[in-house]
Amino acid sequence: MTRRMDHVLVVDDDIELCGLVQEYLTAEGFTLKAVHDGEAGLQQALTNEYVLVVLDVMLPGMNGFEVLRRIRSVSKVPVLLLTARGEDVDRIVGLEIGADDYLPKPFNPRELVARIRAILRRAKPASSADAVPEILSVGDVELDPATRTVQRAGQPVELTSVEFNLLEVLLREAGRVVTRERLVNAVLSRKFMPFDRSIDMHVSKVRRKLGDSDENGDHIKTIRGVGYMFARPSKARK
């Protein structure tokens, strides 16, 4: 079944909240399906009918983390995680598992719409206009913006849409420092907040997928107090 480009899945056991979200999303041109437990949410998320999943952490039966984990084992569909306000652990775990973004409850529905639109912009494939986007290759890492695929040493690397966009920014600036503020603006499409560690969690995920064991690995370097840099390989290295 072909996925509809405006079809959003909401997995939350708060029926009243789902009704409010549906009202706002419908007004913004989206269509919405709401389910109210983890098992049903997982089954729906894997049908490939939805452009994005809004997933609550606290669900009856299978919790949101397990749903997200199972989605990520087979699908790259963008997931916006709903967490309890003040629960930093939930946000960290969610990002570790593969959430594209999170939003603490209670939230302003307008912010939810803005977050959804930002995620969809980031996940949108490169335009097939006149010029074919160049393939970015630095060391053993190759990124193709046209197909949104990444390889390391000839082997495919599975990235979420956020992770892909993060790596693309770093590769385009390889050998130069990219500030955390710029990464947040470019990758998460929101204003930089000093205590928001979301971008750092995404960097950590990309590092592990590229085989870096720590912040001084072969690919992404931490520039303390500033940001990150994708290292160009040394010419002397064999």
How many Å apart are CA 237 and CA 220, to the nearest integer?
17
State the helix-helix crossing angle for 38-45 and 64-72, rounded to 10 degrees: 20
What tens digit of pLDDT does each residue of 19-64 get? 999 999 999 899 999 999 999 999 999 998 999 999 999 999 899 9
- Rounded distance between C-alpha atoms, residue 201 and residue 206, angstroms: 9
User: 202: helix, coil or strand?
Assistant: helix
Q: What is d(CA 232, CA 220) in angstroms, rounded to the nearest whole number?
A: 10
- Give yes or no for residue 194 having a pLDDT over 80: no
Q: How far is CA 18 from CA 13, 145, 147, in A?
A: 8, 35, 34
Query: Which domains are delineated in the chain?
Result: 7-123 (3.40.50.2300), 136-230 (1.10.10.10)
Residues near 238 by Cβ (< 8 Å), separated by ≥ 6?
Answer: none
Would the pTM of this model clear 0.85, i.e. be above it? no
